[in-house]
Amino acid sequence: MSFEGVQHESAMGRLYADLPSKVKAGRAALGWSQGDLEKMSGVSKVAIARLEVGKIQPRLATIAQIIKTFNDNGIHFIDLPTGGYFMAVLSPSGGKAEHIYQLYRGQMESLRSYVDALEATLRHGPLAAVKANQ
């Protein structure tokens, strides 16, 4: 099996492992019940409940629906290379929403750059991190 295949399997494993926590955290940040998420995403309340306790491994299309719903409502997740994730909550408030989004977007780009450098350091040593940021 190729190295890329191992990375893909690892990423998919992390996606499924963190999904119950992400869904619960996203709902909590929005103050939503499982029924609210059902209304907003089109994913059944039964599926959401089973997903949150890890009883099902949902299809990628279902995951995409839920994540898109969170993204559309200001909740964004970034998987961390060492496991776990970072959740950003963007609060759209009237005319300030675009400014907040631009600020958030800049912070996300900085975080991604940091994560890329950290991954390079972990894989190849400190000099690789310098090259990754150039």
DSSP 96-115: GHHHHHHHHHHHHHHHHHHH
How big is the chain, counted in residues? 134
pLDDT digits (tens, 9 = 90+) for 4-16: 333 444 556 666 7
Task: Report the candidate in 83, 98, 106 with the shortest Cα–Cα distance to residue 16.
Answer: 83
Look-up of token digits 């961390």: 80
pLDDT digits (tens, 9 = 90+) for 89-107: 876 554 444 444 445 555 5
Q: Give the whole-angstrom CA distance, residue 53 versus residue 32.
A: 17
Instruction: List the domain boundaries for the chain.
Output: 1-73, 90-134
77 DSSP β-pair partners: 87
pTM reported for the whole predicted model: 0.62
CATH of 1-73, one of 1.10.12.10, 1.25.40.10, 3.60.20.10, 1.10.260.40: 1.10.260.40
Q: What is the pLDDT of residue 95?
A: 41
